[in-house]
Amino acid sequence: MSRFQWLMITACLLFILQNSFAQTPDDVFTRGNELYRAGKYQEAIREYDRILKQGIASAEVYFNLGNAHYRNEQLAQAILAYERASQLRPNDPDIEHNLKLVYLKTIDRLEPLPEMFLIQWIRTIGSLVSTDTVRMSFFISWILLFVSLALMYLVLRSEIIRIARFVFFASLISVVIWAVMMGFQTFQETSHDKAIITSHTVTAKSSPDLKSVDAFVIHEGVKVRVTDAVGDWVKITLVDGKVGWILIEQCERI
Amino acid sequence: MPRLLFETAGREASRRLKKARAMLEQGESENYYAEVLKALTEYLEHKLRTPKATFVLEDALIQLRNRNVSNEVIQLLKSCLEQVEFIRYAPASDTTEKRKELLDNAAKAIDGIERMFGKRSAA
């Protein structure tokens, strides 16, 4: 055997060995949880971060990371982790509970602007039913729509036609409703324009310039919407409608 | 609610027959027969969802039988259509009584089909 082949075999063996000794994300997660239980929050955070750095996005990991940050008194980081967990698994009661709890610890109390009633309705309904339910319902009404249409034009019995017409219009309406809700949920899931203020105190400027007039002051943990970015500056909109520019490192996107 | 031709066929046919009666009173015999023929054939086309191009009377009558329309009604319909055809080619046998009878028979036939079409037979 040539030297090259030997080299290849050793490389392969090394690769296999390395893989078998490498820790699976599950192991790291378990160790992180053990460290958390032992009160070593800093170390636990490091373990969780290692999993997330591998490109694994899991609601459980983010949730535990949020708990560890919370215990470690890193408010903004805790909120960030919970928000990410909530994005991966919307309407989870545990995540929502902890989020509410941690938001109570933030300094700012912002009064949300009133929303248009239609959007508010859709949001309420959208948060009551899960994405899977919406998708399934959309799919079923979509099929019903065409089945009833086919029945209407293929069957020669007036009673059946009458029923099929009713089903057709009912499923037409429900297809539209479910589609709107599906679009709304997808939009909320995929929009990454929300950010959390990570600096303790931030003075927002009225334009992306240090010399410009101060717009308002906010503190760590506030959830903002990022609407624009210029150089090192991002334009943020608060829930109460205030708009200002802050430095990009003062906040982190969810 | 929009209606299908299948559902409005009966109403459409009676509308045409009423028009035919008006023509009869005005003495337009040509138009009168054309209207009755149209009322009956269009009714069958819509009721059986057969395109005009492929409409054959014999097939239509068989289909009516398959959909539980009684033999008397089918015979009545057939005689009406035959009468229309016959008078077109032999106008001599045309009388006012016969025309009036034709109208009544056509209305009766359509009414009978409307009642029995697609329903379970009483027997």
Task: Say if residue A239's pLDDT is above 60.
Answer: yes
* Ramachandran category for residue A129: left, alpha or beta (phi over 0 → left; psi -120 to 50 → alpha): beta
Output the CATH code of domain A3-104.
1.25.40.10
Task: Say if residue B121's pLDDT is above 80.
Answer: no
The reported pLDDT for the residue numbered B52 is 87
Beta-carbon contacts of residue A208 (< 8 Å; ≥ 6 apart): A230, A231, A232, A233, A235, A245
Neighboring chain B residues of A157 at a CB cutoff of 8 Å:
118
Question: Where along chain A do its domains lie?
Answer: 3-104, 117-190, 194-253
Task: Say if residue B122's pLDDT is above 60.
Answer: no
Q: State the residue range of the domain holding B82.
A: 5-116
Task: Give how many domains chain B has, as a whole number.
Answer: 1
User: Tell me: the pLDDT tens digits for A179-214?
Assistant: 988 888 888 777 778 899 988 899 999 988 888 899
The reported pLDDT for the residue numbered A20 is 55
CA nearest to A193, candidates A249, A251, A232: A251
Q: Kindly state whether residue B78 falls inside one of the protein's structural domains.
A: yes
A235 pairs with which residues across the strands? A228, A245
Neighboring chain B residues of A149 at a CB cutoff of 8 Å:
none
The reported pLDDT for the residue numbered A22 is 58
Neighboring chain B residues of A169 at a CB cutoff of 8 Å:
1
Asked if A153's CB is within 8 angstroms of B118's CB, the reply is no
User: Tell me: the pLDDT tens digits for B51-93?
Assistant: 888 888 899 999 999 988 999 999 999 999 998 888 877 777 7
Query: pLDDT category, A136, cuts 50, 70, 90?
Result: very high
Candidates B6, B63, B67, B116: best to mutate against A (most CBs of A within 10 A) is B6
- Helices vs strands, H then E, count in chain B: 5, 0
Give the separation between CA A137 and CA A179, rounded to whole angstroms: 10
Q: Kindly state whether residue B45 falls inside one of the protein's structural domains.
A: yes
The token duo for B60 is 């239509």
Chain B: which residues have CB within 8 Å of chain A? 1, 4, 6-7, 47-49, 67, 117-118
As a whole number, mean pLDDT of residues A71-82 equals: 90
Please give the residue that has the higher pLDDT: either A7 or A148.
A148
Interface A-B, measured as beta-carbon pairs within 8 A, has a size of 19
Output the CATH code of domain A194-253.
2.30.30.40
In whole angstroms, how far apart are CA B84 and each of B42, B47, B111? 15, 20, 19
pTM: 0.62
Beta strand A194-197 pairing with A201-205: unpaired
Beta-carbon contacts of residue A49 (< 8 Å; ≥ 6 apart): A65
Give the separation between CA A90 and CA A82, rounded to whole angstroms: 11
Pick B67's closest partner by Cβ from A152, A156, A169: A156
Asked if A161's CB is within 8 angstroms of B1's CB, the reply is no
Query: pLDDT category, A142, cuts 50, 70, 90?
Result: very high
Give the separation between CA A155 and CA A157, rounded to whole angstroms: 6
Q: Kindly state whether residue B121 falls inside one of the protein's structural domains.
A: no
Beta strand A223-230 pairing with A251-253: unpaired
Neighboring chain A residues of B4 at a CB cutoff of 8 Å:
152-153, 161
Neighboring chain A residues of B117 at a CB cutoff of 8 Å:
156, 158
Q: Kindly state whether residue B11 falls inside one of the protein's structural domains.
A: yes
Give the separation between CA B99 and CA B28, rounded to whole angstroms: 12
A165 touches chain B (CB under 8 A): yes
Assign residue B24 the CATH number of its domain.
Answer: 1.20.120
Please give the residue that has the higher pLDDT: either A179 or A113.
A179
